[in-house]
Chain A
Amino acid sequence: MAELWLQFVLTIDATLRVATPLILCAMAGIFSERSGIIDISLEGKMLLSAFTAATVAALYGSPWLGLFCAVIVSMVFSLIHGFACITHRGNQVISGLAINILASGLTVTIGIAIFAQGGQTPFLMSGQRFSAISLPFAEAAKNIPIIGTIYAEVISGHNLLVWVALLSVILTAHVLFHTSFGLRLRAVGEKPEAVDTAGISVTLMRYQAVLIAGLLCGIAGAYLSIAHGAGFGREMTAGKGYIALAAMIFGHWRPIPALMACLMFGFLDAIAARLQGVELPFFGPMPTDLILVLPYVLTVILLAGFIGRAVPPKAIGQPYIKER
């Protein structure tokens, strides 16, 4: 029983690790889409910043510098997205898609040019990464049943960026729903004309929103390559940006429900890793394919049955034209 409990706690611990980039990206998506800008390019920006973080950390040995540069790069690409969609009123899906394709090619090409390792960056040593932070008394608490194990395994032993991700949810919720900036941001996504009439620049609001999205994506990318992982590999985001997008829609563009959706995806992933090869009664070993398909099947079921209609912000995807 104690063993089973420990396994459960460790699965929750893994859930948090896996869900971190999803949470950051989902918050990024919320900021962007609440302001009326569809952001398919979460994936691409995350990939670019993962690459930047690993490259800078490998070359200069500092994870902080890596994180900083990753955020800058991600924000620059957010600006490009904004320039295409806000200033030039381009199609937001196409622009996002273009960034994703660009990211996938650019990272590998530059990676080969710098390191000549087939698009990978070198393996990062412990000083070049954000390592796990053990909270005080974690070792001692391990022996206390239930609360002790939760403290030692789930709460302690994460790297800094996991905490940043959780903090980002609280900040997002606060900014969106309890500040005047948040009110304007939401209004820009629902009825930009109203905001414009009130004398606030729609363009400026939307640019601010995509920049915040860039910041969060940058942290997510850095998490992948210099905190959770130890180096960049081609296509290492492996669709996480799209999953975050789905989590955001699950959460009806609201931070706390989106967090829950991210944790659900993370949990399914973590449990899938643990169920593989486990012998089931009457069934034999669990087939790999079934395990891998499980998160997606559950997604479809949940989406169809439990989530209800997802209503996006009204003005999403529409460029704002003042002269109309």
Chain B
Amino acid sequence: MKTSLLKIIVSAISVLFVWSSMSVQAADIKPAVIYDMGGKFDKSFNEGVWNGVKKFTEETGIEVMEFEVTNETQREQAMRRMVDRGATVVLGVGFAQADAIAAVSAENPDVQFSIIDVFWLDQPNLRQYAFKEHEGSYLVGVAAAHASQTGKVGFVGGMDISLIRKFACGYVGGVKSVNPNAEVYQNMTGTTPAAWNDPAKGAELTMSQIDRGADVIYQAAGGTGIGVIQAASDAGKLAIGVDSNQNGLAPGSVLTSMLKRVDVAAYETFMDAKNGSFSAGVKVLGVAEGGVDWALDNNNASLVNADMKAAVEQARQDIVSGKISVHNYESDSACPY
């Protein structure tokens, strides 16, 4: 009797202790996020991160400090200011913030940092998220090949960097897995960061591909991609969205979207920091980890037939099981498809 009473007291105290330590930890964490150019409502990359941040705040009640970079010199300043304001975990959005986060994380070893789309840095307090965009692009490539009636499809990239070539290569792989004779037209918008924000050029490139017979055009071009979707929709052809679910931008003209679940990365970073399980290193999210996927909703339900759906689902399973290995352009700067 006495021992059991003691047990209850001990367990009650320990529960109380654990609970209080958790609440202390929860109060201790002060998360911050620095969105990149484009802003948090860009209907694409940054908005994806914002969705993850929102989910975290809704579930935990912890406010996240935010900053939207509007010019290139602000990144490092913003990061330092977040640290000065007492941030315990700082999330950088996009590869453009790599240099800034490398510098600031080295100076502040007690603060946790995390960055999306970077995998080449090395800091004991820095977590990096990379996505297997080639796998997601492969899936939408399969869908594109099924939707195309001409056997010709297109790709419009933003800035000509290996990350975007990686999208293109996976896409070509997916298309050719369905139709080996398919022709894939590829265009890059430019070689400077301005290429992310040139919808007129995007539209023009798209029209040039449509003129040559393409009827499904996939874009990985940030704001430029809006022009791609618009041009495809004007011409009565199909576009494929990227990063966020863009199916609703022009319902009936967006076949699907290659989802890059940056929201998962944002949510996970802050959740891990809150739970004390934050770890440094590189996290790679692919189809198997739920990091990339294709989008299926009411807006594109009429465009996706049963055959296409089955084929994409099959490809997804094959990638997860390892039966299909999608080539990563960044591994050798070449595309074998």
Q: Are B199 and A231 in contact (CB under 8 A)?
A: yes
Cα–Cα distance between A277 and B187 once the two chains are bound (Å): 7
Given A117-B39, A277-B187, A7 and B212 touching (CB < 8 A)?
A: yes
- Other A-B pairs beyond A118-B42, A235-B194, 7, CB < 8 Å: A14-B211, A118-B41, A123-B249, A236-B199, A270-B204, A288-B160, A292-B191
Number of A residues near B (Cβ < 8 Å) is: 36
Q: How many residues of B contact A (CB 8 A)?
A: 38
A-B contact pairs, 17 of them (CB 8 A): A14-B204, A17-B207, A115-B41, A117-B39, A118-B38, A120-B223, A123-B43, A126-B234, A233-B223, A233-B226, A234-B223, A236-B199, A270-B208, A276-B205, A277-B187, A288-B191, A289-B191
- Cβ–Cβ < 8 Å partners of B41 in chain A: 115-118
> 7 shortest A-B CB distances, which residue pairs?
A118-B39, A230-B230, A117-B41, A10-B211, A273-B208, A118-B42, A233-B223
User: A292 to chain B: which residues have CB within 8 Å?
Assistant: 190-191
On A, residues with C-beta under 8 Å from B are: 7, 10, 14, 17-18, 108, 112, 115-120, 123, 126, 131-132, 224, 228-231, 233-236, 238, 269-270, 273-274, 276-277, 288-289, 292
Complex Cα gap A112–B39 (Å)? 9
A190 to chain B, nearest CB (A): 36
Contact B208 A14 (CB under 8 A): yes
Would you call the interface of chain B mostly helix, strand, loop, or mixed? mixed
Q: Inside 8 A of B188's CB, which chain A residues have their CB?
A: 276, 288
Distance between Cα atoms of A131 and B229 in the complex (Å): 15
CB–CB A132/B212 < 8 A? no
Of A231, A273, A289, the contact of B204 (CB 8 Å cutoff): A273
Min C-beta distance of A207 to chain B, whole Å: 32
Closest to B222 in A: A233
How far is the CB of A310 from the nearest CB of chain B, in Å?
28
Q: A112-B39, A233-B226, A236-B198 are in contact. Are A276 and B186 (CB under 8 A)?
A: yes
Q: Which residues of A contact B229 (CB under 8 A)?
A: 123
Q: Mark B185-217, 1 if CB is under 8 A from A, else 0.
A: 111101100100111110111011001100000
Q: Nearest chain A CB to B37's CB is how many angstroms away?
A: 8
> A231 to B226, Cβ gap below 8 A?
yes
- CB neighbours (8 Å) of A234 from chain B are 197, 223
In whole angstroms, what is the CA distance A157 to B127 when docked?
Answer: 52
Contact with A along B28-41 (1 / 0, CB 8 A): 00000000011111
A18 near B250: Cβ-Cβ < 8 Å: no
Q: How far is the CA of A18 from the CA of B203 in the complex (A)?
A: 10
**In whole angstroms, how far apart are the Cα atoms of A194 and B41 in the complex?**
57
Which residues in chain B, 161-199, are within 8 Å of chain A measured between CB atoms? 185-188, 190-191, 194, 197-199
Assess the B234–A273 pair: CB atoms within 8 A: no
Checking B42, B186, B190, B197 against A236 with a beta-carbon cut-off of 8 angstroms, the contacting residue is B197
Closest to B157 in A: A288
B291 at the interface (CB under 8 A from A): no
Q: How many Å lie between the Cα of A273 and that of B227 in the bound state?
A: 14
A224 contacts B208, CB within 8 Å? no
With beta carbons under 8 angstroms apart, the residue of A117, A229, A235 that contacts B227 is A229
With a cutoff of 8 Å between Cβ atoms, the chain B residues found around residue A120 in the complex are 39, 42-43, 223, 226
Q: How far is the CB of B221 from chain A (nearest CB, A)?
A: 11
Determine the chain A residues whose CB is within 8 A of the CB of B227 once the complex forms.
229-230
- A291–B204 alpha-carbon span in the complex (Å): 15
Q: Does B68 contact A (CB under 8 A)?
A: yes
Q: Smallest distance from the beta carbon of B203 to chain A beta carbons, Å? A: 6
CB within 8 A of A277: which of B185, B194, B201?
B185
